Amino acid sequence: MPQSVPSLPRRAARLLRTSLFTQVACALVLGIVVGKLWPDVATDLQPLGDGFTRLIKTIISPLVFCVVVVGIAKAGDLKAFGRIGLKALIWFEVASTFALIIGLLAANLVQPGSGMNVDPSTLDASAVDAKTGGGSLPSTAEFVVEALPQSFIGAFAENSLLQVLILACLVGAALLHLGHTKVPQVLPAIEQAQEIIFAIVGFVMRLAPIAVFGAMAVLIGQYGLGVIETYAKLIILCYAAAALFIALLAVALRLVTGLSLWKFLRYIREEMLLALGTASTEAVMPRVMQKLRKAGARDDAVGLVLPTGYSFNLDGASLYLSIGTLFIAQAVGVDLSLGQQITVVLVLMLTSKGMAGIPGSAFLALSATASSLGAIPAGAVALLLGVDRIMDSMRVVTNLLGNCVAVLAVSRWEGALDTVRAKQMLNREIEFVPDADDKAGVDAENADGIPAQPHKEPAPELS
């Protein structure tokens, strides 16, 4: 007797119960509806998104530390780790410069701010100060000094990823120098701590739909949908330029690794939707690290390239900054020469680095660029206050994909990527199982004929 096919409502209920992607998608739609119909209620839901982000940030630093230390210790080659870092920085600089140039070309072609004829004196420059908290972007010297930890515990307490990375490199190098015989218990202890952290990630991720609902309701409740009409030309241009940049990323990934970006996007669809809903790439960083490792990227490459990219490879922010600078100039009637636009690229190459974690960093970078040109009133940056939150989705998607592509490309460049396993994972021949839930041992893995990862972690079972 053939089994009866489950009814559509039962299948939908089962999907909603088991699929994180479905849960987050439903929460996204529900948040938009609540924000539109009950904006006053929606603005009180801010703690839902903020609470989730705080929980995720709590585990990012210890996770990065454990992954990097284990990666260096298992790779057994500190020089290889240095090469990965250097290649990552080269990739970051090339990618972010391309993003800046694409943004400038797009803004020159479409002219999103032309015809607005805004009088800068009518703009409230103090609103920008409120957005940025009156802060400023660090100079190059300050950025380098701040990246160096002055306290082992302080680096974790302040959630400074660059400082944590440096500490992890030092600890990993010390483990290699001393050897496993002198400190036999340290590496296993760090590996066990890593497993605990991944288990916590699994617990926190169950709250993702609630966070997306709250964040989306607040966005629509505060800004409404009318802002989209006012800045339609600028919004469409930014998203179109981001789509072009992502298409170029897809080409680069295919050429370097032979992998498909679209299949990778399907692979991380839950994390991408969560990042969109919360407007934060940090919210998905632990899970993305897991997925990159499961897809065959070696621990040391994932642990170094992805966190470093959060400070040095903000491709979406670079696109937005270049388009935003020209939009402001066009809106106030300033015609920037070719030389001034080249200056914009050079200034933004510096100001766009190290923006992560600084409140209102986009406005600080735009203000610094306007000041360096001397032709654009600094107060004109206030023109973008109303649309900045709408741009978060573009920046989040582009930043996240840019950093994931960097991990895969640099890993392949260094020979730290198992491309066979990566293709199997992206083609759904292997099911993704979070580390904390992966009970399959090495023997079962070999019996099923699934090739082991380069770092020899247990592989998920066949789907």
Q: Which two tokens stand for residue 198?
A: 């991944």
Alpha-carbon distance 260 to 408, whole Å?
11
pLDDT of residue 247: 94
**Domain assignment present for 338:** yes
pLDDT of residue 423: 92
**Domain assignment present for 250:** yes
- φ, ψ of residue 113 to 5 degrees: the values are -100, 0
Supply the range of the domain harboring residue 260: 51-179+232-448
**Domain assignment present for 39:** no
Alpha-carbon distance 352 to 365, whole Å?
7
Inform me whether the pLDDT recorded for 186 exceeds 70: yes
User: Residue 419 in contact with residue 259, Cβ under 8 Å?
Assistant: yes
Structure letter (DSSP) for residue 429: S
pLDDT of residue 229: 61
pLDDT tens digits, residue range 92-138? 889 988 998 999 999 999 888 777 666 666 655 555 555 545 555 55
Inform me whether the pLDDT recorded for 86 exceeds 70: yes
**Domain assignment present for 101:** yes
What 3-state class would DSSP assign to 258? Answer: coil
Alpha-carbon distance 196 to 194, whole Å?
5
CATH at 403: 1.10.3860.10
Over range 353-382, report the average pLDDT: 65
**Domain assignment present for 397:** yes
Q: Which of 278-282, 306-310, 459-463 is predicted most confidently?
A: 306-310
User: Residue 214 in contact with residue 31, Cβ under 8 Å?
Assistant: yes
Query: What DSSP assignment string belongs to 335-390?
Result: ---HHHHHHHHHHHHHHTTT-TT-TTHHHHHHHHHHHHHSSS-GGGGGGGTTTTGG
Tell me how far the alpha carbon of residue 212 is from its chain's centroid. Answer: 16
* Terminal-residue alpha carbon distance, the chain: 26
- The amino acid occupying position 10 is R
**Domain assignment present for 2:** no
Residue scoring higher pLDDT (246 or 285):
246
Over range 227-237, report the average pLDDT: 75
Q: Which of 61-70, 191-200, 255-264, 437-446 is predicted most confidently?
A: 255-264
**Domain assignment present for 374:** yes
Over range 426-450, report the average pLDDT: 57
Inform me whether the pLDDT recorded for 233 exceeds 60: yes
Q: Which of 368-377, 400-409, 417-426 has the lowest mean pLDDT?
A: 368-377
Alpha-carbon distance 258 to 312, whole Å?
25
pLDDT of residue 283: 80
User: Residue 118 in contact with residue 335, Cβ under 8 Å?
Assistant: no
Inform me whether the pLDDT recorded for 237 exceeds 60: yes
From the CA atom positions of the chain, what is the Rg in Å? Answer: 23
The pTM score is: 0.76
**Domain assignment present for 193:** no
Inform me whether the pLDDT recorded for 55 exceeds 90: no
- List of long-range contacts for 419-423, beta carbons under 8 Å, 24+ apart: 419/257, 419/258, 419/259, 419/296, 420/296, 420/451, 421/295, 421/296, 421/450, 421/451, 421/453, 421/459, 422/257, 422/259, 422/295, 422/296, 422/297, 423/258, 423/259
pLDDT of residue 363: 65
Q: Which of 130-139, 185-194, 241-250 has the lowest mean pLDDT?
A: 130-139
Alpha-carbon distance 284 to 401, whole Å?
12
How many domains are there within the chain?
Answer: 1
pLDDT tens digits, residue range 133-169? 555 555 566 667 777 888 888 888 887 778 888 888 8
pLDDT tens digits, residue range 288-343? 988 999 999 988 888 888 888 877 778 888 888 888 888 888 887 778 888 888 88
Tell me how far the alpha carbon of residue 197 is from its chain's centroid. Answer: 19
